[in-house]
Structure 1
Amino acid sequence: MFCFQCQETAKNTGCTIKGVCGKPEETANLQDLLLFVLRGMAVYGEKLKELGKPDRSNDDFVLQSLFTTITNAAWDDQRFVVRIEEALRRRDQLRQAFLNAYKEKNGSDFTGTLPDAATWTGDRATFAEKATSVGVQSTAHEDVRSLREMLVIGLKGIAAYAEHAAVLGYRKPEIDDFMLEALASTTKDLSVDEMIALVMKAGQTAVTTMALLDEANTATYGHPEISEVNIGVGTNPGILISGHDLKDMEELLKQTEGTDVDVYTHGEMLPANYYPAFKKYPHFVGNYGGSWWHQTSEFESFNGPVLLTTNCLVPLRKENTYLDRLYTTGIVSYPGAAHVADRPTGGAKDFSPLIAQAKRCAPPTELDKGTIVGGFAHNQVLALADKVVEAVKSGAIKRFVVMAGCDGRQKSRGYYTEVAENLPKDTVILTAGCAKYRYNKLNLGDIGGIPRVLDAGQCNDSYSLAVIALKLKEVFGLDDINKLPVSYDIAWYEQKAVAVLLALLFLGVKGIRLGPTLPGFLSPNVAKVLVEKFDIKPIGTVQDDIAAMMAGA
């Protein structure tokens, strides 16, 4: 195996024996093989589009397949084997459709060359061997490999967001078209300029996708509102839901209504507490615990069933006893965990096994007391625009610091807590994603009634932060987003954060501090391009970085 798609990758170079995330070599290799076959599907999909015979029947499959390869999502090798077999079947159908369309248009059979990803055939007996030759290192040139993988890693994040929107019935064909274009491009010999252009197009597509997901979430569940979220526990047994999928949240709340079973969010599901549609459920108690990497202790102490709706599931430790109350759904899988099947057309998922088990469990063990405040997505902040602008003009707010992104296990991430604690009292932190758990329970106060931590929501709600910045640029009559009193101190961990980063670069944001390390998938030459063109920089010391940000550097 060789995997360097997450921030924790070994020695910031690549995991080669077992993933730091816990991913076994066999699983990593199967993910590589699935991506390989998806590239073959993309080759034919692109060719069919060129022939005027586009095929949209595989759009969902491609999104979901890319999503399964994201960090901490799918752990069950058998499900990967089945998905690879399905990908081969779909690829061969596309191949035949292409050959037929080509002959129809040209009057002769296709005799050109095709990449191995489009022609290789095999069965599950050959999967393990083939997988060892199609991974990241099959691209020999370091810079080509870096640009291809930056594209594919960003593509995985875009696919995750697009899948969340698709679940709610929102699609844009240009997003699916880019999936094919990007995957197919990795089978071609392109110039560096062409590859960089595709990476920037990925940023543009990420903006489009996050805007679509924002529309899907707010049209379905209302605009997030400023909310005080309970972080204590009740006396009833409960179900804990983690991940990002709001439709799963909705169906779970409906099915637990009147059952004397409470529902709590965990990790990236915390922002569900901000949506009006969910506040009407009295048994929706609040949020339990912190970010994803605390789950082996927090799932244990919760005592009731735990539902994982997307990524952020980590392997259980030997001492953990919650496997028999761990449930996965959607693209998530884990050996030994019960899996809640996809919803039938026009129907809902069946969460009755979780509800029945919850009734037999003890209430959650208390971890925290009190409340935390969130719900500062773009609609809510823009409603306060006059107040915010006046605070900036009066000097009450000197600077905004965007500290969005991911949390993680490394001790160096304590940097973000220290930055939050040491920023001057006239600064406001804009956040989204689980990075907020490093400081959202600190008592940082407010500025004239404006909280000093404004939480927009999930990692995809980084789109809200971009909307806010663009609106401020308009209000202040600036011609460049980089002239705003805004600094970017971003924490990253996995592929959705890479999609957000590419989105910010596409929007023209410069001077982003990225940590706790720069991505291991950046070759020295590619890193140099990003530094020269976008002024991306690694984090430094807390005091030096705060001083530089306050000086606008």
Structure 2
Amino acid sequence: MDHNMFCFQCEQTAGCSGCTGKAGVCGKTADVAKLQDELTGALIGLARATGGATVTTPDTWPIFIEGLFTTVTNVNFNEKTIRAMLDRVETEKAKLAPGCSACASSCGRSDNYDMNELWNAQEDIRSLKSLILFGVRGMAAYAHHAMVLGYMDDEVNRFFAKALFAVGEDWGMDELLPIVMEVGEKNLKCMALLDQANTETYGTPAPTTVPLTVEKGPFIVITGHDLHDLKLLLEQTEGKGINIYTHGEMLPAHGYPKLKKYAHLKGNFGTAWQNQQKEFANLPAPILFTTNCLMPPKPSYADRVYTTALVSYPEMTHIGGEKDFTPVIKKALELGGYTEDQDFTGINGGHTVTTGFGHGAVLSVADKVIDAVKAGDIRHFFLVGGCDGARPGRSYFTDFVKQTPADTVILTLACGKYRFNDLDLGTIGGLPRIMDIGQCNDAYSAIQIAVALAEAFGCGVNDLPLSMVLSWYEQKAVCILLTLLHLGIKNIRLGPTLPAFLSPNVLNYLVEHFGIAPVTTPEADLKELLK
């Protein structure tokens, strides 16, 4: 392969325009980036081979889901495993369209797509196709979490093929824009499916205070989003004298009754994903990555990194489909953990954080919330959350939350909450002013809460005293944004920068129809949103 790449799917892309050198800002090499493009092109070929999602096998949809998830930022840096995924796509395509590979005709029924056609397309077409592609990549992550729990949705699955087929077609804006909006519609179904899968499997989350102290003795840190992997790890470590600590997007696991029942699920270690290279440097314990966000491990802790499912990095120990975490357990016992309890704090010096304020918990006290609004005790709700990242401008979100008036409530979700989730902002009517709804996919909970409040007050969601101030980093944030737009939610503030893949015309469309605006300063935005 030649040593150049093009990638602009994440918020930290070079110069806010695109990574084009020998490596991306995320750490993936140009060769890995090009293999991911090749995999995407092959998935578009597979979408063509399904003949409008009418020709499938039992393997078709899992391959779409796993293939798309493999290309999400900070998931897979390993050429070997991406090639293996490519082989699976080609094998499946051959089953759906037998004989096509040897056929000399040009019907294109199963041809792979050259992603250079997308990256070099007219900017508005490139922008809309990027929204579709990045959106379904994010949606595939949620579909995967549900799939491992035995939950799938045929309508969601079929849309993966429909969306990828559209990316490969020579269509104009009028044909592509409805597909963009349909990403939001189908992602709502996908998030509802995952919410059902999680709550039926682990129970309805309940508000929980989580300590940031790490107790002495052997322990394992588990990060990512996959609750199924956490459950398996808890089962395999029970009674072995090893404590388990969540990290990053795994924090909301503490709210689920069937996970918190394990006494050795002790607390949360560290903050958001972008701090892992510093936080893991001297950790006397192994780290298990279940999904993104994996950063290239530093030599100081590389021997303690374990991956599973679709996460992969060259030379790191991978726990395969059998999910036998024995190597992780052995490493934890070998390292021994800390000799004394370690009192860690959050970014703002707090010693605990809370989680578990999903729609089940919040709506169970909806009468209190409604009464507080009617009494004037709650003036406004802010949804402040989303992905975190390293860009300095992200301090905006901490400052914004600190400056919110005492008669406002902050709903939060995803790892963006680590900017402020250890703050003690007090309570309103017995409810904490900061409520952690959960992971990024729990935007579904935020939507359910907003819809219920709108019904209670007899108004539309856009008429509620509710403002959304969202941070984004990767593709799951893209599909969530499209879901909010599908629901007609307006005046969202987005930061710390706007996506590089939004062309001026597409951005103008979003501004004109939905009032999307970039964040400015906390002071100016608060003044505007509280008018």
% of aligned pairs identical? Answer: 45
Q: Does 1:439 align with 2:420?
A: yes
Q: How does 1:72-471 map to 2 (within 5 A)?
A: 72-96=74-98, 113-114=107-108, 118-119=110-111, 134-135=115-116, 137-317=118-298, 320-343=299-322, 349-364=323-338, 366-368=343-345, 370-471=351-452
Q: 5+ unaligned residues in a row in structure 2: which ranges?
A: none
Q: Does 1:59 align with 2:61?
A: yes
The verdict on how the C-alpha distance between 1:136 and 1:15 changes in structure 2, with shifts beyond 3 A counting, is farther
Q: Is the 8 A contact 2:283 2:301 kept in 1?
A: no
3-state SS of paired residue (2:259): helix
Task: Quote the Cα distance in structure 1 between the aligned partners of 2:158 and 2:494.
Answer: 30
3-state SS of paired residue (1:285): strand
3-state SS of paired residue (2:281): helix
3-state SS of paired residue (1:96): coil
Task: Quote the Cα distance in structure 1 between the aligned partners of 2:359 and 2:379.
Answer: 20
Match of 1:123 in 2: none
1:97 positional shift? 8.0
Deviations 1:313-354 (A, max 9, x none): 00123xx421111100000001121000113xxxxx111111
Task: Quote the Cα distance in structure 1 between the aligned partners of 2:175 and 2:369.
Answer: 41
3-state SS of paired residue (1:431): strand
Task: Quote the Cα distance in structure 2 between the aligned partners of 1:272 and 1:278.
Answer: 7
1:382 positional shift? 0.3
Task: Quote the Cα distance in structure 1 between the aligned partners of 2:139 and 2:44.
Answer: 16
Q: Does 1:485 align with 2:490?
A: no
1:110 positional shift? 11
Task: Quote the Cα distance in structure 2 between the aligned partners of 1:334 and 1:144.
Answer: 33
Task: Quote the Cα distance in structure 2 between the aligned partners of 1:136 and 1:31.
Answer: 15
Q: 2:504 aligns with which of 518, 524, 528?
A: 524
The verdict on how the C-alpha distance between 1:97 and 1:210 changes in structure 2, with shifts beyond 3 A counting, is farther
Task: Quote the Cα distance in structure 2 between the aligned partners of 1:446 and 1:136.
Answer: 54
Match of 1:128 in 2: none
3-state SS of paired residue (1:296): helix
3-state SS of paired residue (1:312): coil
Task: Quote the Cα distance in structure 2 between the aligned partners of 1:262 and 1:97.
Answer: 54
Amino acid at match of 2:15: K
Deviations 1:356-386 (A, max 9, x none): 1111113245433732112100000001101
Amino acid at match of 1:518: L
Amino acid at match of 2:107: T
Q: 5+ unaligned residues in a row in structure 1: which ranges?
A: 100-108, 121-130, 344-348
Match of 2:45 in 1: 40
1:112 positional shift? 6.2
Task: Quote the Cα distance in structure 2 between the aligned partners of 1:135 and 1:354.
Answer: 41
TM-score, reference length from structure 2: 0.95
Match of 1:14 in 2: 18
Deviations 1:45-66 (A, max 9, x none): 13461xxx44443110110110
Match of 1:503 in 2: 483
Q: 1:4 aligns with which of 8, 13, 30?
A: 8
Match of 1:102 in 2: none
Task: Quote the Cα distance in structure 1 between the aligned partners of 2:472 and 2:224.
Answer: 17
Amino acid at match of 1:152: L
Task: Quote the Cα distance in structure 2 between the aligned partners of 1:187 and 1:270.
Answer: 38
1:194 positional shift? 1.8
Q: Is the 8 A contact 1:241 1:307 kept in 2?
A: yes
Q: Is the 8 A contact 2:184 2:485 kept in 1?
A: yes
3-state SS of paired residue (1:182): helix
Match of 1:127 in 2: none
Task: Quote the Cα distance in structure 1 between the aligned partners of 2:117 and 2:231.
Answer: 38
Task: Quote the Cα distance in structure 1 between the aligned partners of 2:189 and 2:63.
Answer: 20
1:6 positional shift? 0.5
Q: Is the 8 A contact 2:135 2:475 kept in 1?
A: yes
Q: Which moved more, 1:78-87 or 1:64-73?
A: 78-87
Task: Quote the Cα distance in structure 1 between the aligned partners of 2:256 and 2:184.
Answer: 27
Task: Quote the Cα distance in structure 1 between the aligned partners of 2:366 and 2:508.
Answer: 38
1:80 positional shift? 1.1
1:95 positional shift? 1.6
The verdict on how the C-alpha distance between 1:11 and 1:537 changes in structure 2, with shifts beyond 3 A counting, is same
The verdict on how the C-alpha distance between 1:256 and 1:475 changes in structure 2, with shifts beyond 3 A counting, is same
Deviations 1:67-126 (A, max 9, x none): 010000111111112221222222222222889xxxxxxxxx9966217xx336xxxxxx
Match of 1:346 in 2: none
Alignment RMSD (CA, Å): 1.8
1:300 positional shift? 2.3
Amino acid at match of 1:61: I
Q: Is the 8 A contact 1:323 1:336 kept in 2?
A: no
1:186 positional shift? 1.3
1:424 positional shift? 0.8
